[in-house]
């Protein structure tokens, strides 16, 4: 359904071509599911079995469809893949939905005593559903395809059967060939998998091969003999071509993060590696999503494959322990917003920040608010420095890691409290892998994504595709952050040795005397010290808009009943009402969004403080006693309009409500601008008469308009 001018067939044809690949039932689901995105489809557009689109009459223009027009064939094919994925759940060979099964005690799993003892040493006393349900099938040597959420314990799930089989083989000798090959999309993930094999059972010889480091040490390790080889596609091909890796004895082949392999363009390399493996191998494909390439791979290389769907019929494809938050934030405000978000939601734990470019990574890491607490990972960082940085991040030497999306793929740090994405991902799969860095292994986590104006539709698309809902609380207020930081600051103070405290006690008395008021000197000293320890310096209290993320702007909410709302139609009428309600204020209104009979708009911090009381605000830094950022939830009224309530909201409505209101507003503007225009031919780029929202134009609707133009002498002439 293409809500653009039907004369521009170059926009329509790609989407039609893509939708023709969707089955009939899936097409009906697709059309029904797009209603919330304001994709208007006239009732006369009927479905026919002989022609997928039957009649395409009366598909008319609205603003929201232009985003779908851009995606064209790629978007339609992605939707087709998702529909096929839903149909595959009814396949009798697919295991039942086991995502809700509770954890299983370690003693109930048929593992060897040696492996159980080592798992208990590592603090593992129970196994997750994916680890328990797939264990016996993998031990039986069957080919499997597993669809499981990121952070659900996939690595241990495929590592345990491999380790049990290797320990059962008592003929392991020096120079032996590997019996298991694992392919990972990134170096970090490959290193993590190799470390997991060694942690579970050190007797199993495992080595990791990847690019960016010398190949000599890898060749030496392979010659000594190993049981498991973990590597990235490029370096594995180098070893296979050079003859330094012999995979003729491989019994188990594991492809981890298969969907990421496809996204990074490794599908040809993966299939090339598979050609080197013996036909009798056991194949395991593990993926958070199930694109078409993974299904084709299973059909081509697997025998009697068994599917395990750990997501099942649950529409939520991310971990259910993750809280999803979206915050409006401009590019220049990212550093300030990250500082506030970390103080509010970080809980003193590790924070992973995703950026789109290396330039943005360096810019954020060098910002004064993050410079002392953050380190970076991107393509220009050497492999040795990357490994050292990740090791320091795991050990807690620093708490904020800023990385590009490509460099951060595969990072597996078990206790990441907060993930921040400085931009809306291009697709839902990227969002799944980014947010999946937190909330792992059943722990709770928070995922925050920054968005700018116009990206609300992208957020809604992610909500619908992943079955999640974003909370829109806005950037954390400066007054709310100390409560979250106080416990961390107190813990830091209590960790200072007593002998150090005694040395600094005389200095604290001197500082108290210099602060001024002797009666309150000690309290001021403690308060200032707490503020500095919590990361607060001057100027950090500036208000940030909920609606647009602009610094120095405050979002104001205006509630009115339907009768009052009808008196002030349109944006101009609403602004006239504001001027009449508070004539002493010079209204500088920013973005305006109307949800039902409620308006949300931005005004400057100075103006809202004048409305609340001019004595409470001063533009000089440090002289303001009350800030608009501290007044969330406060409401007031105007004597001129007692039925209208003004308030400073604590959060925004849902993304769906905002997108719907924006689409309706765009449609009204488009309809208003078309009124009275003479009908235009399709060749001129206009809308054909049959696709007018008001129906076909009649002859007496063609009223000529008076126009003006500048003639050769520079004079304006008018004509009809």
8 A C-beta contact, residue 453 and residue 335: no
Q: DSSP string spanning 138-176? A: HHTT--EEEE--TTSSHHHHHHHHHHHHHHH-----TTP
pLDDT value of position 516 = 60
- Is 342 in the same domain as 304? no
- Is 442 in the same domain as 400? yes
Q: DSSP string spanning 228-266? A: EEEE-HHHHHHHHHHT----TT--EEEE-SHHHHHHTT-
- Is 178 in the same domain as 227? yes
- Domain count within the chain: 5
Give a yes or no: residue 315 inside a domain. Answer: no
Q: Which of 656, 671, 700 is the last residue of a domain?
A: 656
Higher pLDDT, 391 or 515: 391
Give a yes or no: residue 701 inside a domain. Answer: no
Give a yes or no: residue 605 inside a domain. Answer: yes
- Is 342 in the same domain as 434? yes
Write the pLDDT tens digit of every residue in 593-613.
888 778 898 888 888 888 776
Give a yes or no: residue 586 inside a domain. Answer: yes
Write the pLDDT tens digit of every residue in 161-201.
999 999 988 677 888 999 999 999 888 889 989 999 999 98
Strand partners, 420: 353, 448
- Is 282 in the same domain as 374? no
Mean pLDDT, rounded, for 123-149: 91
Give a yes or no: residue 678 inside a domain. Answer: no
Q: Which of 258, 275, 309 is the last residue of a domain?
A: 309
- Is 467 in the same domain as 522? no
Task: Find the domain containing 174 and state its range.
Answer: 104-309
Residues 6+ apart with CB under 8 A from 362: 376, 378
196-210, 385-399, 529-543, range with greatest mean pLDDT: 196-210
Give a yes or no: residue 671 inside a domain. Answer: no
Give a yes or no: residue 673 inside a domain. Answer: no
- Is 302 in the same domain as 371? no
Worst-scoring range by mean pLDDT, 114-118, 525-529, 571-575, 619-623?
Answer: 619-623
Q: How far apart are CA 673 and CA 476, in angstroms?
A: 40
The number of CA neighbours under 13 Å toward the Cβ of 203 is 14
8 A C-beta contact, residue 534 and residue 479: no
Give a yes or no: residue 714 inside a domain. Answer: no
pTM above 0.95, yes or no: no
Q: What's the pLDDT band for 234 if we cut at 50, 70, 90?
A: very high
Q: How far apart are CA 311 and CA 468, in angstroms?
A: 14
- Is 499 in the same domain as 604? no
Radius of gyration of the chain (CA): 31
8 A C-beta contact, residue 211 and residue 184: no
Residues 6+ apart with CB under 8 A from 342: 351, 400, 418, 420
- Is 126 in the same domain as 270? yes
* Edge-to-edge order in the sheet of strand 635-638: 592-595, 598-604, 553-559, 641-647, 635-638
Please name which of 312, 24, 320 lies closest in space to residue 150, comparing C-alpha atoms: 320
Write the pLDDT tens digit of every residue in 45-95.
333 333 333 333 333 333 333 433 444 434 444 544 544 444 443 343 444
CATH number of the domain where residue 363 is located? 3.40.50.300
Question: What DSSP character marks residue 94?
Answer: B
Burial (CB < 10 A; 0-12, 13-18, 19+), residue 587, is middle
- Is 347 in the same domain as 294? no
Count the neighbouring beta carbons within 10 Å of the beta carbon of residue 79: 23
- Is 394 in the same domain as 510? no
Q: How far apart are CA 391 and CA 280, in angstroms?
A: 38
Q: Which of 476, 502, 519 is the last residue of a domain?
A: 476
């Amino acid at each position: 359904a293409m809500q653009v001018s039907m004369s521009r067939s170059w926009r329509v044809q790609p989407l039609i071509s893509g939708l023709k690949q969707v089955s009939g039932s899936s097409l009906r689901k697709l059309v029904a599911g797009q209603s919330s995105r304001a994709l208007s489809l006239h009732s006369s557009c009927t479905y026919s079995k002989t022609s997928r689109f039957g009649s395409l009459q009366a598909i008319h223009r609205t603003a929201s469809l232009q985003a779908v027009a851009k995606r064209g064939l790629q978007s339609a094919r992605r939707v087709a893949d998702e529909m096929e994925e839903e149909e595959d759940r009814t396949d009798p060979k697919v295991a039942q939905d086991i995502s809700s099964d509770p954890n299983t005690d370690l003693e109930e799993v048929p593992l060897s005593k040696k492996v159980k003892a080592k798992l208990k040493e590592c603090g593992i006393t129970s196994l997750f559903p994916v680890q328990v349900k797939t264990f016996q099938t993998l031990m039986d040597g069957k080919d499997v395809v597993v669809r499981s959420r990121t952070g659900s314990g996939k690595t241990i799930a495929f590592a345990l059967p491999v380790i049990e089989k290797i320990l059962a083989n008592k003929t392991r000798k020096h120079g032996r060939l590997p019996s298991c090959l694992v392919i990972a999309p990134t170096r970090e993930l490959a290193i993590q998998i190799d470390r997991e094999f060694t942690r579970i059972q050190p007797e199993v010889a495992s080595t990791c091969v990847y690019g960016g480091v010398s190949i000599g040490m890898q060749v030496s390790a392979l010659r000594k003999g190993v049981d498991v080889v973990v590597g990235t596609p490029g370096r594995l091909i180098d070893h296979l071509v050079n003859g330094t890796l012999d995979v003729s004895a491989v019994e188990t082949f594991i492809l981890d993060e298969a969907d990421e392999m496809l996204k990074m363009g490794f599908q040809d390399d993966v299939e090339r590696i598979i050609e080197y493996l013996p036909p009798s191998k056991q194949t395991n494909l593990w993926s958070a999503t199930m694109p078409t390439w993974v299904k084709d791979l299973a059909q081509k290389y697997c025998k009697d494959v068994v599917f395990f769907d750990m997501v099942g019929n649950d529409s939520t494809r991310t971990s259910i322990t993750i809280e999803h938050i979206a915050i409006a934030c401009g590019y220049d405000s990212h550093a300030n917003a990250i500082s506030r978000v970390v103080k509010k939601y970080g809980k003193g734990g590790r924070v992973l920040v995703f950026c789109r470019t290396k330039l943005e990574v360096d810019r954020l890491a060098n910002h004064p608010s993050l410079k002392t607490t953050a380190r970076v990972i991107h393509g220009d960082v050497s492999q040795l420095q990357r490994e050292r940085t990740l090791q320091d991040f795991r050990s807690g030497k620093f708490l904020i890691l800023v990385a590009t999306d490509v460099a951060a793929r595969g990072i597996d740090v078990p206790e990441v409290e907060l993930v921040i994405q400085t931009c809306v991902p291009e697709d839902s799969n990227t969002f799944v892998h980014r947010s999946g860095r937190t909330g792992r292994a059943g722990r709770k986590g928070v995922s925050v994504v920054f968005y700018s104006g116009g990206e609300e539709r992208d957020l809604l698309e992610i909500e619908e595709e992943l079955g999640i809902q974003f909370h829109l609380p806005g950037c954390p207020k400066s007054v709310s952050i100390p409560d979250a930081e106080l416990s961390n600051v107190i813990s830091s103070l209590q960790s200072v040795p007593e002998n150090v405290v005694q040395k600094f006690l005389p200095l604290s008395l001197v500082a108290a005397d210099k602060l001024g008021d002797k009666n309150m000197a000690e309290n001021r000293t403690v308060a200032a010290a707490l503020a500095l320890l919590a990361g607060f310096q001057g100027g950090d209290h500036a208000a940030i808009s909920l609606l647009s993320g602009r610094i120095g702007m405050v979002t104001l909410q205006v509630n009115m009943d339907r009768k009052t709302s009808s008196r002030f139609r349109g944006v101009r009428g609403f602004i006239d009402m504001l001027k009449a309600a508070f004539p002493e204020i010079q209204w500088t209104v920013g973005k305006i969004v109307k949800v039902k009979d409620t308006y949300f708009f931005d005004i400057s911090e100075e103006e809202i403080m004048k409305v609340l009381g001019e004595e409470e605000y001063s533009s000089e830094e440090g002289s303001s006693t009350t800030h608009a950022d501290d007044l969330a939830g406060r409401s007031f009224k105007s004597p001129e309009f007692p039925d209208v309530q003004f308030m400073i909201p604590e959060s925004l409505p849902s993304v769906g409500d905002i997108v719907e209101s924006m689409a309706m507003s765009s449609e009204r503007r488009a309809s208003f601008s078309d009124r009275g225009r003479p009908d235009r031919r399709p060749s001129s780029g206009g809308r054909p008469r049959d696709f007018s929202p008001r129906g076909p134009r009649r002859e007496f609707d063609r009223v000529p308009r008076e126009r003006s133009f500048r003639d050769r002498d520079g004079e304006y002439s008018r004509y009809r």
